[in-house]
Amino acid sequence: MKILNMTKDLFTQRQRVIDMLYDARNTLNIKLPYIKVRIVDFEEQDKVLGRCFIDKDFITISKDLTSWNDDYLREVVWHELAHAYFNAKHDEACPLMNPKLSNAHSREVLVEVLKTYKKE
Please state the domain extents for the chain.
Answer: 2-119
Predicted pLDDT at 10:
87
Q: Using CA atoms in the order 64, 79, 10, 37, what is the torsion angle rounded to 10 degrees?
A: -140
CA 15 to chain centre: 13
pTM of the predicted model, to two decimals?
A: 0.89
Matching CATH number, 2-119, of 2.40.160.20, 3.40.190.80, 3.30.2010.10, 3.30.930.10? 3.30.2010.10
- The tens digit of pLDDT for each residue in 66-94 reads 678 899 999 999 999 998 888 899 999 99
Q: In this structure, is the dihedral angle defined by the CA atoms of residues 89, 119, 110 and 72, taken in order, positive or negative?
A: negative
